[in-house]
Amino acid sequence: MRKTRRLVVAIGWTVSCAAGAWGLDLALLANRRIAIPMEFSDLQYDASEKGLTGTAIQIAPAECGYRASVRFGDGPGTAAPDFQAHDVELWPEGEAVGVAELGTGPYADLRFTIDADSGHAGSFLGLVWRDHLEGVFHFANGRALQVRLPLLIIQPTGTLRGLPGVAVSAFHQDSGDVSPPPGFEASVKARLRMAGIPILQYDNDVPGQPLLQVIIADQEDRVDLELRQDVWLDRDPRIKASAVTWSFGWRISAEDRATARVPAFITDRFVKDYLEANRSIPARGVQ
Q: What is the CA angle 244-250-252, rounded to 5?
A: 130
Contact at 8 Å (CB) between 96 and 66? no
Answer whether residue 1 shows pLDDT above 50. Answer: no
Concatenate the DSSP letters of all residues of the chain into one string: ----------------TTT-TT---HHHHTS-EE-SSEEEE--EEETTTTEEEEEEEEEEE-SSSEEEEEEEEEEET-----EEEEEEEEES-SSPEEHHHHTTS--EEEEEEE-GGGT--EEEEEEE-SSEEEEEEEETTS-EEEEEEEBS-----GGGTT---BEEEEEESSSTTPPPPHHHHHHHHHHHHHTTPPBPPSS---TT--EEEEEEEGGGTEEEEEEEEEEE-SS-TT-EEEEEEEEEEEE--HHHHHTT---HHHHHHHHHHHHHHHTTS------
Q: What is the pLDDT of residues 140-164, one digit of tens each?
A: 999 999 999 987 765 667 889 999 9
How far apart CA 287 and CA 282 sit, in angstroms, is 16
Beta-bridged to residue 54, according to DSSP, are 73
The residue among 127, 150, 147 whose CA lies nearest residue 139 is: 147
How far apart CA 269 and CA 12 sit, in angstroms, is 6
**Confidence at residue 123, expressed as pLDDT on a 0 to 100 scale:** 95
Q: What is the pLDDT of residues 158-196, one digit of tens each?
A: 889 999 999 999 998 877 667 889 999 999 999 999 999
Answer whether residue 47 shows pLDDT above 70. Answer: no
- Find the range with the poorest average confidence among 76-80, 99-103, 104-108, 224-228: 99-103
Q: How many angstroms from the chain centroid is the CA of residue 7?
A: 9
Answer whether residue 51 shows pLDDT above 80. Answer: no
Q: Report the predicted TM-score, pTM, of the whole model to 2 decimal places.
A: 0.57
Task: Give residue 77's pLDDT band: very low, low, confident or very high (50, 70, 90).
Answer: low
The residue among 253, 280, 285 whose CA lies nearest residue 266 is: 253
Between 81 and 267, whose confidence is greater? 267
**Confidence at residue 147, expressed as pLDDT on a 0 to 100 scale:** 94
The residue among 237, 234, 263 whose CA lies nearest residue 250 is: 263
Between 280 and 14, whose confidence is greater? 280
Task: Give residue 249's pLDDT band: very low, low, confident or very high (50, 70, 90).
Answer: confident
- Helix axes 264-278 and 182-194, enclosed angle (nearest 10): 40
**Confidence at residue 3, expressed as pLDDT on a 0 to 100 scale:** 36
**Confidence at residue 29, expressed as pLDDT on a 0 to 100 scale:** 33
Cα distances (Å, whole numbers) of residue 105 to 63, 100, 109, 131: 28, 11, 12, 11
Task: Give residue 23's pLDDT band: very low, low, confident or very high (50, 70, 90).
Answer: very low
Between 222 and 146, whose confidence is greater? 146
Answer whether residue 210 shows pLDDT above 90. Answer: yes
Contact at 8 Å (CB) between 226 and 6? yes
Q: What is the pLDDT of residues 223-238, one digit of tens each?
A: 889 999 999 988 888 8
Mean of pLDDT values over 21-45: 53
Backbone φ, ψ for residue 210 (5° rounding): -65, 125
The residue among 255, 265, 266 whose CA lies nearest residue 24 is: 265
Answer whether residue 15 shows pLDDT above 70. Answer: no
Between 107 and 188, whose confidence is greater? 188
Q: Please state, for a pLDDT cut of 90, what percent of the chain lies above it.
A: 31
